[in-house]
Structure 1
Amino acid sequence: MNLDINQAVDLLTSKLTLWAKEFIRLLPNIVLAAVILVLGLYLAKLIRKLALKLIRKVSHIETINTLFGSVIYAIAIGVVFFVVLSVLNLDKAVTSILAGAGILGLALAFAFQDIAANFMSGIFLSFRRPLAVGDIVQSNDHMGIVEEVNLRDTMIRTFQGQRVIIPNKDVFQNTIENFTVLGKRRLDLSVGVSYGDNLQKVKEIALAAAAKVSVRARDEEITLFYNEFGDSSINFSIRIWMQDTAQPTFLQGRHEAIMHIKEAFDANDIMIPFPIRTLDFGIKGGEKLSDLGLFGKE
């Protein structure tokens, strides 16, 4: 029994002695690793501040700016961590960590590919800036005012009051119509007139009537173009620029244009054709209206 205890004590002593020798041997590396760790953490914070300052000159979306700074900080911390492990001669641990991180990253990429696509699209949208909060846009058959642009989706408030959330991938990959960029908006109004009217006279009267629109842009010319010979009318488009892009201004401009043109056409005996249907009750298999007794007997 005493022999077993002595052997255990000797074994423990030898192990502790070996560890002490290894610790003393590695002490310079441990001190160097600690210094690198402290300096690395300080440099990582400094790099994050510098990255945020640079990214804010390009992007005005604070969420993306913060995320970019965090990613840069995480990369810097990772570099410091691997350098510390290398100084401590833990190269195999570094290799294992890198291999595990690669496999984990690949698995996450497959599992969250839609989220990743929306995320990357949000980043590209923040740099390209095809739209901004407050813009009137049309995207994916939805038209309204942009309320929010974040990393995953874009929120639009339609003119009917509904809130539409569109994934950034769909916004980025599809056509975006931005009505706010120019600072003014054009109204294209389609009108038809009778084949019996003088087209030159129609043009002059329509342009004069459209000029009465109170919310039109005074620096833009009103234009009129005949488009086609319709079934019952000659159709034309009159183009009027509004003084701003707001939806109430656009609706008011269209309202006034229709009223002024209709009033001017009535005053000058210009006819806007409308569909006419003739009902024939006397055809084979039908009855005449006089035989239906609808009008009474004389």
Structure 2
Amino acid sequence: MGSLNPLQTAWQQLLQMVKGTIELLPNIIIAIVVFTAFWFVAKFSRRLIKNLTRKKQSRNLGLVLARLSQGFIILIGTFVALAIIIPSFKPGDLVQLLGVSGVAVGFAFRDILQNFLAGILILITEPFTLNDQIIFKEFEGTVENIQTRATIIRTYDGRRIVIPNAELFTNSVTVNTAFDKRRLQYDIGIGYGDDIAEAKKIILEVLHNNTDALQDPPPEALVVDLAGSTINIRARWWINPPRRADAMDTQDAVLTELNNKLVAAGIDLPFPTQQILFHDQTEETDGDRTRQREGWPAAKGNNPEPRRIGNSLQQLAQASSGGGNDRTNHS
């Protein structure tokens, strides 16, 4: 009989648990109903705040308020539901428990909290907004969503990039669509023998005739570099709106028309060239051999006579025909 006492004790405890659960069942049902009601109220408040702040000037602030209000209402609903199920429960007990473990939670979720605070600051300060086109490090695309943890952008080739808000908030971000107008520019190289004024005239005519290039501010054509093979003229013009697709379409039309007009006018568009000078294959008229030339140090004393180009060609021909064997025999 003594062996039955533990079984009886366990059975009695199980019966008490079932009885207690049955007694709490109405409270549990009421708590679920109450929490569900708070959840729907939270969703409605978020949707209402977003609808009231649809304007671009307050859209990000509306996202912040909507998310904060939803979280706050759900938190209150959780407290109320717990108080219904456990009448002795007090919100202060939970706050005290969170205070005890707050340091450990802070270290464990430091990055999450940092991204959350950065997301709130981004939504409030609005360095960029939804549908803005931004450049962050090697990523470029359109902002699709600004969450409290990360910002999601869609690249121009159809990929999704998720960037933590802490990185966006502490690093430089280029916003291409921050203003209504955007200036485009492209350097065009013409030959040194071409007429610069004529090239500028053609460039400005093309920019003035392009329907997407704004006339206020007016287009410009400026000489910016005397390069090794070209004189570089920078064509600059403004577009509106400043989105990526508009910039690419306008640049395509402008550069195609510029190439056709400059070539038709006889203006050269040279490619880079290099000239190699051999030190001992120069003409007598090239200058004083005692002076530094082509990067070679100045010679003192006996200066060799400059080799004639004609003689050099003959020597090269002889070397190619049999000079190699001579060098072999001498060695």
Which TM-score bucket, shorter chain as reference? 0.5 to 0.7
Whole-angstrom distance in 1 between the partners of 2:66 and 2:206:
54
Whole-angstrom distance in 2 between the partners of 1:104 and 1:70:
25
Whole-angstrom distance in 1 between the partners of 2:231 and 2:257:
19
Distance 1:190 1:134, change over 3 A: same
Distance 1:78 1:242, change over 3 A: same
Distance 1:98 1:149, change over 3 A: closer
Name the residue aligned to 1:261.
258
Shift of 1:279: 9.2
Give the aligned length. Answer: 242
Distance 1:262 1:97, change over 3 A: closer
Aligned 8 A contact 1:210 1:257 in 2: yes
Q: Which has the higher contact order (CA 8 A, sep 6+)?
A: 1
Whole-angstrom distance in 2 between the partners of 1:75 and 1:160:
41
Aligned 8 A contact 2:200 2:221 in 1: yes
Whole-angstrom distance in 1 between the partners of 2:148 and 2:49:
20
SS of equivalent to 1:208: helix
SS of equivalent to 1:134: coil
* Structure 1 counterpart of 2:248, one-letter code: L
Q: Deviations over 1:61-104 (max 9, x none)?
A: 66533331245558889999xxxxxxx9x99x95x765532232
Q: Indicate whether 1:112 and 2:99 are aligned.
A: no
Counterpart mapping for 1:225-244 below 5 A: 225-244=222-241
Name the residue aligned to 2:272.
275
Aligned 8 A contact 1:63 1:151 in 2: no
Whole-angstrom distance in 2 between the partners of 1:182 and 1:69:
32
Name the residue aligned to 2:217.
220
Match of 2:153 among 153, 156, 162: 156
Shift of 1:157: 1.3
Whole-angstrom distance in 2 between the partners of 1:59 and 1:159:
24
Name the residue aligned to 2:69.
69
Name the residue aligned to 2:134.
137
Aligned 8 A contact 2:206 2:257 in 1: yes
Give the unaligned 5+ runs of structure 1. Answer: 1-44, 81-87, 281-287, 293-298
SS of equivalent to 2:234: strand
Whole-angstrom distance in 2 between the partners of 1:107 and 1:189:
56
Q: Deviations over 1:3-54 (max 9, x none)?
A: xxxxxxxxxxxxxxxxxxxxxxxxxxxxxxxxxxxxxxxxxx9xxx7xx969
Aligned 8 A contact 1:140 1:171 in 2: no
Distance 1:100 1:253, change over 3 A: same
Instruction: Indicate the RMSD between aligned Cα atoms, in angstroms.
Output: 4.2
Distance 1:62 1:260, change over 3 A: same
Name the residue aligned to 1:187.
184
Aligned 8 A contact 1:59 1:65 in 2: no
Q: Deviations over 1:99-145 (max 9, x none)?
A: 53223222111111111111111111111122222222112221111
Q: Indicate whether 1:207 and 2:207 are aligned.
A: no
Whole-angstrom distance in 2 between the partners of 1:195 and 1:232:
8
* Structure 2 counterpart of 1:67, one-letter code: R
* Structure 2 counterpart of 1:103, one-letter code: V
> Aligned residues: percent identity?
24
SS of equivalent to 1:130: coil
SS of equivalent to 1:211: helix
In the TM superposition, structure 1's runs of 4+ consecutive aligned residues that sit over 6 Å from their partners are 74-80
Name the residue aligned to 2:246.
249
Name the residue aligned to 2:324.
none
Whole-angstrom distance in 2 between the partners of 1:76 and 1:160:
44
Shift of 1:196: 2.0
Name the residue aligned to 2:14.
none
